[in-house]
Amino acid sequence: MFTAEHKILNLTDFKNEQGHPLPGGKMLAEIMRQKELIKPCSEEEVSYKLTELGQYIAESGGWLNHVEKIKGVKKNTPKEFKKPKNEVKRLNLELILAGIIIAFLCMLIVSCI
């Protein structure tokens, strides 16, 4: 899809599975630019250069593989970062109990004065 030597991508390089020019090539280029995969080489925006991210994704098997890798990373986040609900409830109960004890001790101190 791009020339390996310069990593330049022309609008005419946007093709479908059969090798025919893609009718929405300009729109696809704009989406890729917004995703920071390419940047325009000229003011006419008919040729684009791959960014580092774009080059990495192209060399790693393409956009769909990249998205699958991201999904896999999200699924495999360590459980230590996710606090179970019962642990959060327990912490809240401990804080409430500590507040009640402090309030009781304050009232006890005030009544002794």
Question: Domain count of the chain?
Answer: 2
Question: For position 46, what pLDDT does the model report?
Answer: 81
Residues 111 and 70 in one domain: no
Residues 98, 113 within the same domain:
yes
pLDDT at 4: 47
Q: How far is it, in rounded angstroms, from Cα 91 to Cα 65?
A: 41
Sequence-distant (≥ 6) Cβ neighbours of residue 46 within 8 angstroms: 10, 11
Q: What is the mean pLDDT of each run of 10 residues along the chain (113 residues)?
A: 62 83 85 89 81 88 85 68 70 86 86 80
- pLDDT at residue 3, as a whole number: 47
Return the pLDDT at 64. Answer: 86
Same domain, 88 and 71: no
Identify the domain containing residue 5 by its residue range. Answer: 1-77
Same domain, 57 and 88: no
Alpha helices in the chain (DSSP H): 25-34, 52-59, 63-75, 85-112
SS3 at position 81: helix
Specify the pairing of strand 8-10 against strand 47-50. antiparallel
